[in-house]
Amino acid sequence: MPSPSILFVDHSAALGGAELYLLDVAKHFRDRAAVVTFENGPFVDRLQAACIKSQVIAAPASILEVRRDSSFLRLVAAVPALCRFAFQLVSTARDYDILFANSQKSFLVTAIAGVLSRRPVIWNLHDLLTDDHFSAGKRHLVARVANACASRVIVNSEATRKAFASSGGRRSLTRIVYNGIDAADFDVSPHDVQTVRNNFQLQSEPVVGVFSRLASWKGQHVLLDAVAALPEIHVLIVGDALFGGDVKYARTLRQTAEKRGMAHRVHFAGFQQNIAPYLHACDIVIHTSTAPEPFGRVIVEGMLAGKPVIATKAGGAREIITSEQNGLLVAPGDSAALRQAIVSLLSKPDMARALAQRGRQEAASRYSLEKMVEGINHVFQSVAPPVTTA
């Protein structure tokens, strides 16, 4: 069967987890694909560096300013702009066999463009459609648009599938394809690791690291609470505020470290394109989200780096980690439980080593790029239009 051509669509040009995922996917299909974004930014630069065909179709502010918690009335008010913008996408869409939306905003536009261009639409749903993350109006709107316009909805976990169905989406549309990560990216030289430790003047102190954009629901403050009474432990916070609403939270984290007398052992590394040396510089990798995650990419990344991982017991994390087998799980927002888990791993190095070894083995086999690409390609083939012969 001939390979279908794919137009990937993403509203964002920031380097978030969904964009890094799409970058990996697009690399494997670049000979028959292109990527459209609604704005310019670092993601576009990365696409161009990877020789992936890309195009920026600038979206109006009324679309870009729609947020996760936007009311139903706000969403309805944005519909005319969505329709007008979708018409701009149609001419490009007609050059491809399949349209692939990588975010909720891009899906709403792509769904309309798919109807107008008569192209099948795949929505890659990276988010949990729950009250923790989205307004009820937005959840039910996107689920119903999916029911009407999507040929398939790719989800990154069973947790994501259940949330989609609970919001009114048809479960039969969904296909689970776990995120794939290249294990080779996490093999780093001792020199690179030592450089990271030297930059933060780390000697033999135990280091715990949290890797995520700085946002209140990502829970970096929970880790600060957990280690406040553990004066020997240093904290490495890798990530930055990607969106305007997160800037205040990032400032609060720094103020908390100052007020508690922890500034000398809480190190803010900011955004890093290559987090592998930073993962290796840690003794433990911590996932602290207070609301359920749809998947938990950093959990797998920590496992691939050969580090013991502590994650919150919710959402997709429960599908990645089996507590006390390949990592540890604690209740979301429970700083006391997190403190106990950290102390347990540091005081039992044999257990920590065993968890890390099993974690690396399972992550490399279950969450490989090859498995992800195979799963996505299977979905492409299932919706590809039939080949006509003369």
Q: What is the value of pTM for the model shown?
A: 0.86
Q: DSSP string spanning 1-57? A: -PPPPEEEEES--S--HHHHHHHHHHHHHGGGEEEEESS-SHHHHHHHHTT--EEE-
**Checking DSSP bridges between strand 234-238 and strand 207-211, what pairing results, if any?**
parallel
In this prediction, residues 315-337 reach a mean pLDDT of 97
Q: Is the pLDDT of residue 390 over 50?
A: no
Q: Is 185 exposed, middle or buried (0-12, 13-18, 19+ CB in 10 A)?
A: middle
Q: Strand order in 54-56's β-sheet?
A: 54-56, 33-37, 6-10, 98-101, 121-125, 152-155, 174-176
Q: Is the pLDDT of residue 70 over 80?
A: no
pLDDT in tens, 85-110: 778 899 999 999 999 999 998 999 99
Collapse the DSSP code of 186 into the 3-class scheme (helix H, G, I; strand E, B; otherwise coil) and give the result: helix
At 250, phi and psi to the nearest 5? -60, -40
DSSP 8-state secondary structure symbol assigned to residue 358: H
Least confident of 73-82, 200-209, 365-374: 73-82
Provide the percentage of residues in the chain whose pLDDT is more than 70. Answer: 93
- CA–CA distance, 143 with 303 (Å, rounded to integer): 33
pLDDT in tens, 245-272: 799 999 999 999 999 999 999 999 999 9
- CA–CA distance, 9 with 88 (Å, rounded to integer): 13
Question: Can you give the pLDDT at residue 243?
Answer: 76
Q: Is the pLDDT of residue 74 over 80?
A: no
Question: Can you give the pLDDT at residue 143?
Answer: 96
- CA–CA distance, 70 with 63 (Å, rounded to integer): 11
Mean pLDDT of the chain: 92
Give CB contacts under 8 A, 24+ apart, made by 249-253. Answer: 249/214, 249/215, 249/216, 250/214, 252/221, 253/214, 253/220, 253/221, 253/224
Residue type, 204: S
CB–CB of 331/337 below 8 Å?
yes
Domains and CATH numbers, the chain: 6-180+369-383 (3.40.50.2000), 183-366 (3.40.50.2000)
Distances in Å between the alpha carbon of 67 and those of 55, 135, 360? 24, 9, 36
Collapse the DSSP code of 101 into the 3-class scheme (helix H, G, I; strand E, B; otherwise coil) and give the result: strand
